[in-house]
Amino acid sequence: MLRAVLLGPPGAGKGTQAVKLVDKYQVPHISTGDIFRKNISEGTELGVKAKSYIDAGKLVPDELTCEIVTSRLLEDDCANGFLLDGFPRTIFQADKLDQFLKENGMKLDIVINLSVPSEQIISRLSGRRICRSCGASYNIVTIPPKKEGVCDRCGGELYQRKDDAPETVASRLKTYDEQTAPLVDYYKNTGVLADFDGTKDAEAIFGDIVQTIG
Ligand code: AMP
């Protein structure tokens, strides 16, 4: 049983840790970014709504995002826990999540905050490549795949996210500073925040997180 949130700026390594954590704790990985990207590629109504915000490096409106997450959390596979990745991203969303959990007799075990200095974020994002099939994350400089353009885990094709382009990255970082960074204090005040040094290598960070979860 694990009910957890992954917090941190874009490119902090949330996706990388998420893959490892859901494998160890056997809980569903709920990434709002992945949900939006899937809907965009399938051309759904939600995808159409979300695309313009994502392409501009802005947040998808709170009400819409919260609705997606709360209905996902009500699915059977979340009964024994979940890992939220990229949600909440605003105080409004955090309040909604808190209210939802209370109403359903649940509470968060941990909010995993990955800290990475902003000067490192830009190079991390520009080198990031994602697997089209399984969502695994690589970096052509720091965590290259064994074979260029091919996922080590599943052999899928690696691609660069459109919003990892330099002009969108600046806007995403501003959005993070203004709207998401305040969540660090928000969760510090509730006593569930655990800070991790996101500049360490992925295995070491994972070890630190697992030790803290206990
Ligand atoms: P991510 O894959 O987590 O970096 O998310 C990619 C993009 O999806 C973000 O830059 C936002 O535009 C949008 N997005 C993801 N999660 C949220 C959220 N919780 N609230 C609003 N927008 C989100």
Nearest Cα residue to 89 out of 164, 17, 14: 14
Catalytic residues: 14, 89, 128, 161, 172
pLDDT in tens, 174-203: 999 999 999 999 999 999 999 999 999 999
Task: Delimit the domains of the chain by residue range.
Answer: 2-117+169-213
Q: Ligand 1: does its nearest atom lie under 6 Å from the Cβ of 196?
A: no
Q: Ligand 1: does its nearest atom lie under 6 Å from the Cβ of 54?
A: yes
> Which atom of ligand 1 has the smallest separation from the CA of 14?
3
pLDDT in tens, 50-95: 999 999 999 999 999 999 999 999 999 999 999 999 999 999 999 9
| Residues 84, 92: Cα–Cα separation, whole Å | 16
CA 124 to chain centroid, in Å, comes to: 15
Nearest Cα residue to 37 out of 18, 71, 60: 60
> Is pTM beyond 0.75 here?
yes
Q: Ligand 1: does its nearest atom lie under 6 Å from the Cβ of 59?
A: yes
Task: State the distance from the centre of ligand 1 to the C-alpha of 91, rounded, in angstroms.
Answer: 14
Q: Which fold has domain 2-117+169-213?
A: Rossmann fold (3.40.50)
Nearest Cα residue to 16 out of 109, 169, 135, 180: 135
Locate 71 and state its tokens: 């209905």
Task: State the distance from the centre of ligand 1 to the C-alpha of 59, rounded, in angstroms.
Answer: 6
Q: Is the pLDDT of residue 118 over 90?
A: no
Length of the chain: 214
